[in-house]
């Protein structure tokens, strides 16, 4: 089993980040949530995924309400930033072209790309835009359709700490100011990037071991008697605390058992109660 008994929720106006060591199941969970998993070789998937507790997830409803930003940017290298977003607008929108053009410029300004709007995107052989600018362009392409939900697979991968922080700040702004639901996997952000996390979902060996306010995550592990340094990057601590060696040793099995018991008996009921209390409008 890759993703094991995962449950939870993500709210509008909040940026939720899925974290865990390599092989924890982060991307697999995100692909399940976005209906991007192909069932082959007798693979099975059970459970329910819904928008606002009422609308079942499938490719049609995901396309209507959500957008997915892949880890690897897939953009036409000879397009400028304006051309990339305009091309997407012409394909997806039915509004007048003048209104589409205005929306494209507005999105470019919001993403801080106006100074490079007429620059070609480039590719691996022709470096024109920086890594952060390419990532923001990829996000902008998905924002054209004005989705209620944006899912991102490791949007800071390959970026330096400053650019990674700017991407996390951007996602925080998209959630807070625009009321969008942001769900993103992320590997090992800097402490400054972690500052912009609203909600955190931690995984280990496919299991959910914590979900809740990011600001409370370190206290949770202190309560479980983990040795948490006073001055450390939370992401660095989580990578070390949740890492599992394969094949699993006895200490790995004992650690997973302890984390699973703590989550099941102390956190899971609270998460379910919170989910039941949330009343959301139609997306």
Supply the CATH number for residue 253's domain.
Answer: 3.40.50.300
Which pLDDT tens digit goes with each residue over 104-118? 999 999 899 999 999
What are the C-alpha distances in Å from 193 to residues 18, 128, 153, 249? 14, 25, 16, 33
- pLDDT tens column, 223-273: 999 988 888 899 999 998 898 888 888 888 999 999 999 998 888 777 777
Residue range 155-175: average pLDDT? 89
Q: Is residue 24 part of a domain?
A: yes
Q: Quick one: pLDDT band at residue 22, thresholds 50, 70, 90?
A: confident
The model's confidence at residue 279, banded by pLDDT at 50, 70 and 90, is low
- 233 close to 190: Cβ distance less than 8 angstroms: yes
Work out the angle at residue 69's Cα, subtended by the Cα atoms of residues 66 and 14, and round it to the nearest 5 degrees: 60
Choice between 59 and 17, residue whose per-residue pLDDT is larger? 17
In a domain, 147, yes or no: no
Q: How far apart are CA 131 and CA 104, in angstroms?
A: 21
| Rounded distance between C-alpha atoms, residue 208 and residue 6, angstroms | 6
Within-domain flag for 78: no
**Residue with token string 């051309």:** 83
The answer to the question of residue 32 being in a domain is yes
Report yes or no on 134 lying in a domain. no
| Contact call for residues 16 and 185 (beta carbons, < 8 A) | no
The predicted pLDDT at position 277 comes to 66
pLDDT over 90, % of the chain: 55
Helix (H) or strand (E) run with residue 108 in it? helix 97-110
* 5 occurs within a structural domain: no
pLDDT at 283 (0 to 100): 47
Q: What pLDDT score does 221 carry?
A: 92
In the predicted model, what is the mean pLDDT of the chain? 89
- Indicate whether 4 belongs to any domain: no
- The parent domain of residue 252 ranges over 15-71+152-277
Residue 115 counted as domain residue: no
Q: Scanning the structure block, which residue is given the tokens 């007429």?
A: 118
Count of structural domains within the chain:
1
> What value does the mean pLDDT take over residues 179-197?
91
User: Phi first, then psi: what are they for 251, rounded to 5°?
Assistant: -65, -30
Among residues 92, 90, 119, 89, which one has the least CA distance to residue 106?
89
DSSP three-state, residue 53: coil
Going along 112-258, which residue ranges are E strands?
149-153, 181-185, 199-204, 207-213
Nearest in space to 24 (alpha carbons), one of 229, 210, 270: 210
Cα separation of the two ends of the chain: 32
Give this prediction's pTM.
0.89
Closest by Cα among 156, 121, 117 to 15: 156
CB 210 within 8 A of CB 267: yes
């Amino acid at each position: 089993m890759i993703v094991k008994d995962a449950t939870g929720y993500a709210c509008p106006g909040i940026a939720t980040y899925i974290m865990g060591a390599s092989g924890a199941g982060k991307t697999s969970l995100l692909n399940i949530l976005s209906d991007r998993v192909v069932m082959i070789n007798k693979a099975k998937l059970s459970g329910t995924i819904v928008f606002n507790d009422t609308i079942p997830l499938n490719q049609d409803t995901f396309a209507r309400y959500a957008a997915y930003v892949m880890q690897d940017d897939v953009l036409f290298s000879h397009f400028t930033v304006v051309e990339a977003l305009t091309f997407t607008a012409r394909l997806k929108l039915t509004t007048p072209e003048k209104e589409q053009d205005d929306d494209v410029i507005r999105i470019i300004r919001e993403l801080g790309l106006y100074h490079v709007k007429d620059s070609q995107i480039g590719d691996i052989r022709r470096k024109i835009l920086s890594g952060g600018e390419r990532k923001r362009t990829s996000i902008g392409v998905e924002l054209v359709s004005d989705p209620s939900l944006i899912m991102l697979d490791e949007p800071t991968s390959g970026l330096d700490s400053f650019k990674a922080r700017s991407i996390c700040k951007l996602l925080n702004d998209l959630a807070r100011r625009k009321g969008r639901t942001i769900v993103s996997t992320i590997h090992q952000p800097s402490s400054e990037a972690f500052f912009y996390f609203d909600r955190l979902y931690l995984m280990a060996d496919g299991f959910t071991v914590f979900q809740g306010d990011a600001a409370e995550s370190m206290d949770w592990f202190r309560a479980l008697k983990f040795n948490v340094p006073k001055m450390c990057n939370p992401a660095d601590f989580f990578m070390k605390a949740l890492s599992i060696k394969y094949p699993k040793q006895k200490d790995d099995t004992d650690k997973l058992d302890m984390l699973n018991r703590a989550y099941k008996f102390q956190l899971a009921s609270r998460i379910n109660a919170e989910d039941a209390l949330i009343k959301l409008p139609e997306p």
